[in-house]
Amino acid sequence: MKKKSVMLLVACTLAGSILFSSCVGQFALTNRLLKWNRSIDSKFVNELVFIAFCIVPVYEVTVMADALVINSIEFWSGDNPLAAVGTVKNVQGTDGMYQVKTLANGYEINKKGDAKKVDLVYNKSDKTWSVEADGQSSKLMQMKSDDEVVMYLPGGQKMNVELNAAGVTAFRHVALADTYYAQR
């Protein structure tokens, strides 16, 4: 009897950790399937595929896989196992078109027509974002908590910044003042 109650307690604890962890996540697998289905040119074929995937429970299986496995992994590890590594997007900037490639640990950014590249790299162990260009690396920021980051200024100084309007405004004033004095 005691063994049954211990097993029941363990089962309830595990179920509670999964059900009450608020691991909503991105539902990446389901969204990829839906995106593929929407990419079919004919609206009639698209509807037939949708109905077939509802009858043969393809959508239901992907939702369950996302809800029970993939989103839980994303919640507990911080990494989405279906992250779109290698995805390339074109982004229009004020001074031209940029190509942004998703890496396993950040992003590679190239300006179209320019051979130079800049990498934004996230170091999971110390929770820092760095910029790498021309063989040199400089830290940009370190995540301290959900409400605070440490920003690295050009002169090697650090500034704690609260993630709210007042904190961002204070950092903007310091950063712009440093840029102004550096240009003199």
Give CA–CA dist 58/94, Å, rounded: 43
Across 26-32, average pLDDT: 78
Question: Would you say residue 30 lies in a domain?
Answer: yes
Question: Would you say residue 64 lies in a domain?
Answer: yes
- Tally of domains within the chain: 1
Q: Is the pTM of this model over 0.85?
A: no
Question: Would you say residue 110 lies in a domain?
Answer: no
More confident of the two residues 143 and 93: 143
Q: pLDDT of 41-60, one tens digit each?
A: 777 777 777 777 777 677 77
Q: What is the mean pLDDT of the chain?
A: 74
**Is residue 37 within 8 Å of residue 53, measured between CB atoms?**
yes
What pLDDT does 181 receive?
44
Residue 182 has pLDDT above 50, yes or no: no
* N-term to C-term CA, the chain: 80
Question: Would you say residue 39 lies in a domain?
Answer: yes
Q: How confident is the model at residue 180 (pLDDT cuts 50, 70, 90)?
A: very low
Domain of 25? 18-77
Beta strands in the chain (DSSP E): 88-93, 96-103, 106-111, 117-123, 128-133, 136-143, 148-152, 158-162
